[in-house]
Amino acid sequence: MSGGDENADDDMAVADFRPGEIVLEIPARTEYVSFVRVVVAAAAEIEPHMDVDRIDDLRVAVSEATTNAIEAHGLRGVDDRIRIQCNLADDEVAVVVHDQGMGFEPEEVPTLPEPDTPERLLHEDGLGVHLMEMLADEAEISSTDSGTDVRLVVYSSKRRRKKSDG
Beta carbons of 73 and 82 less than 8 angstroms apart: yes
* pTM summary value: 0.76
Beta carbons of 30 and 71 less than 8 angstroms apart: no
pLDDT digits (tens, 9 = 90+) for 116-143: 666 655 555 556 788 899 999 999 999 8
Domain residue ranges of the chain, discontinuous segments joined by +: 19-165
| DSSP symbols for the chain | ----HHHHHHHHHHHH--TTEEEEEE-S-GGGHHHHHHHHHHHHHHSTT--HHHHHHHHHHHHHHHHHHHHHHHHHT--SPEEEEEEE-SSEEEEEEEE-S----GGGSPPPPPTTSGGGGG-SS--HHHHHHHHSSEEEEEEETTEEEEEEEEE-HHHHHHHHH-
Q: Is the dihedral of CA 120, 122, 127, 130 positive or negative?
A: negative
pLDDT at 151: 96
Q: Would you give the distance in Å from CA 26 to the centre of its chain?
A: 13
Tell which wins on pLDDT, 13 or 19. Answer: 19
Q: What's the CATH architecture for 19-165?
A: 2-Layer Sandwich (3.30)
pLDDT digits (tens, 9 = 90+) for 75-118: 888 888 999 999 998 789 999 999 998 876 656 555 665 556 66
